[in-house]
Amino acid sequence: MSNHNIPLILHRQEEILVQPSDQVPKPRSIWRHYKGDLYSVKKLVMRESTEEIDVCYKKFENSPLLFNWSRPLKEWNEMVDYNGSQVKRFVFVSSRNEKRKTNECTR
């Protein structure tokens, strides 16, 4: 890729990241999927083919699954039909960094 494309990609990335309807998950944050499982965000990545931002995440605790999941940020923030209601696909639970600070203060 030539250098003249980099500002365009960064510009597109910024547009995606600052949409008011989007919650941008931070690495190490914990989110609850609408079906109940907890997931830890690993990082945000850019999908080469579409230049969309994807959220890379994995099951939070004691999962035998060794692989990460990836979902476009737009889908991460979507409302979905569940048991006859519209609910958020993922809901923020906590930041692992916040927990670490709290634990350090109570030691």
CATH of the domain at 19: 2.30.30.320
Mean pLDDT, residues 55-81: 88
pLDDT at residue 22 in the model? 63
What is the DSSP track for 34-98? Answer: TTS-EEEEEEEEE-TTT--EEEEEEESSS-S--S-EEEEHHHHT-EEEETTEEEESEEEEEEHHH
Local structure of 15: helix, strand or coil: helix
The model's confidence at residue 67, banded by pLDDT at 50, 70 and 90, is confident
Which range of residues forms the domain containing residue 89? 3-106
| pLDDT(68) > 70 | yes
Mean pLDDT, residues 14-38: 77
| pLDDT(95) > 90 | no
**Which helix (H) or strand (E) element contains residue 33?**
strand 29-33
Encode pLDDT of 51-64 as tens digits: 889 999 999 877 67
Distance (Å, whole) CA 18 – CA 24: 8
The domain total for the chain is 1
Write down the mean pLDDT value for the chain. Answer: 76
Distance (Å, whole) CA 39 – CA 80: 17
Mean pLDDT, residues 33-49: 93
Mean pLDDT, residues 50-78: 87
